[in-house]
Each structure stands twice: as C-alpha cells, then as structure tokens.
Structure 1
Amino acid sequence: MAFPFLSDEWIEEARRIRAEYEGRAPEAPVALRVNVVVTDVPWEPRRVEGYVDTTGGTVSLEVGRLDEADATITLEHATARAILVDGDRQVAMAAFLGGRIRVDGDLTKLLALQMNPAPLDPVVGEVFTRLRDITA
C-alpha cells in the first residue's frame, strides 16, 4: 500500500520499516543534529517539521523539533521527497545552489555529509527502495 509522502500514514509505515532495519545500517559518517522544515505540503497545515540526529552513530529521522540543533533546513515538499525517498544526493546540492533549500546554522556539517564520497551501502539502498514502494 502506498501513502502520500510525509502523511501520517507514510510516517508510521516508514517507522515500521526503520524498526526492521535497526542495527543493520552502517554508522553515520558525520555526527549532526538538524531540524527539517518541509513547506508546500499538499495538505493542511502545509508544513511538516522533523529532525535528523546522527549523534548516536546511526541516522534517526523523527517528527518534531530538536531544541539544540546544529542547523535548520527549510525546503519544499517535492525537493524533500527527491532527497529522502529517492536518495538523490545530486538533487540536494542542486536545490541548495538554486535557492530551494535554506540552511540556518552550521553549514559545514551538512556539507561534510553531502560530500561524503562513500558509495551507498546496500542496506541503505534497500531502505530507500522500501520507502519508494510505500510512497504514492
């Protein structure tokens, strides 16, 4: 079954998938705490707030907001989908350079993550495939 990206149903299914892969994903290449604000969501309230926290060694994505984040990223729904569902690093860089991603805070940590030349781990690739499969 497929759900709209970042809908409540999609988030719940993504959490279930993440739980299946607990302990199997590689260690995060950079320790960072980032709030993410997704705008232009196609339903009310038109924005979703979440965060990424890699300080525990793995990538943790959750709904909400961190009090002490290294940075805050604001981007529109379609760009977030291309990055988080499709895993397209090139979209992230192009969107940033094109002004479709706004970053407040420590940009150097985000760039370190983006510039990591490591190939995509097979487990991470499998997770991205599963996320694509549940996304309408």
Structure 2
Amino acid sequence: MSLFLSPAWFDTVAKLNESAGELNLPPALANLVVNATIEQDSPTLLHLKGGKIHQGHADDAVSTIKIDQETLGDIIKTGDTNIAIEAFMTGKIRIDGDMSAVMSLQSAKPSPEQKALFKDILKNTEFT
C-alpha cells in the first residue's frame, strides 16, 4: 500500500494503468482530459486522461479542478458524487475552464475495465 498522492502511490498507479490496458470507455469519457490541483502544503498535480489517473498536468486538458486532499480522498474512498456536489456548492471544489466537461464526469458510466482499475488503485492506497 502507498500513501495517497505520494510519489510511491503515483508509481503504483502508473503500473496499474499499464497493466489495465484498454479500458473500453464511452467516447465522452475516453476523450476527456481534466487536470486537478490538489491543494495541500505543497500542491500535487494530476490529470485524468483516457479514464486513467496520471501524475502532473496535461497540456491538452479542457479544465482544471482545484480541490483539497481530504475532499478528494473522501470522494475516491466512497465513490459518492454527492460529496463532490456538496464540496462544489460550498467552494471546496473550484473549476477553471470547461465546467460542462467536468460535470459530464457525474453522469459518465465507467466500463467494467475502468471499475476494475479503480478498485485495484483503492486496494493499493493508504489514506491518512
């Protein structure tokens, strides 16, 4: 297990991404590129591309989400989109860029392959 957002965690995620292969995502999700800045002592940058989490920001992202580590961890641990909606409404999540692209994540239906990848990532993640 690796600590969420640590260099070791990103290494683990990269290996899991590689072994997952093609995720067979619907086009709206497969073509979506979104950056995230996780605000903490030293900001952590990641992006979602092709349905997979990657370290750093992508140049071709349509939006950037700014979120604190605790809120992101809660969303990832529970998979509860209501946490994300509440966090957005209270200002814990801010979106720069194409908000409709980010909102499409709420209704996107992940493929069985993507669900399996995220389940593997969760199994290998230690939250504080």
Report how many aligned residue pairs link the two structures: 124
Partner of 2:79: 87
Which stretches in structure 1 are left out of the alignment for 5+ residues? none
Partner of 1:46: 42
Q: CA 1:26 to 1:35, structure 2 compared with 1: closer, same or farther past 3 Å?
A: same
Partner of 1:36: 36
Partner of 2:125: 135
Which stretches in structure 2 are left out of the alignment for 5+ residues? none
What amino acid does structure 2 have at the position aligned with 1:18? N
Query: Is 2:9 the counterpart of 1:10?
Result: yes
Partner of 1:104: 96
CA distance in 2, matches of 1:89, 1:28: 19
TM-score by structure 2 length? 0.81
How far apart are residue 79 of structure 1 and its match?
1.7
CA distance in 1, matches of 2:124, 2:55: 18
Partner of 2:20: 21
Task: Percent identity, please.
Answer: 25
Per-residue CA deviation, residues 70-102 of structure 1 (Å, 9 max, x unaligned), is 111100011222334543333222221221100
Per-residue CA deviation, residues 41-83 of structure 1 (Å, 9 max, x unaligned), is xxxx521012222xxxx32422222334311110001122233
**Matched residue SS, 2:2:** coil
CA distance in 2, matches of 1:121, 1:88: 17
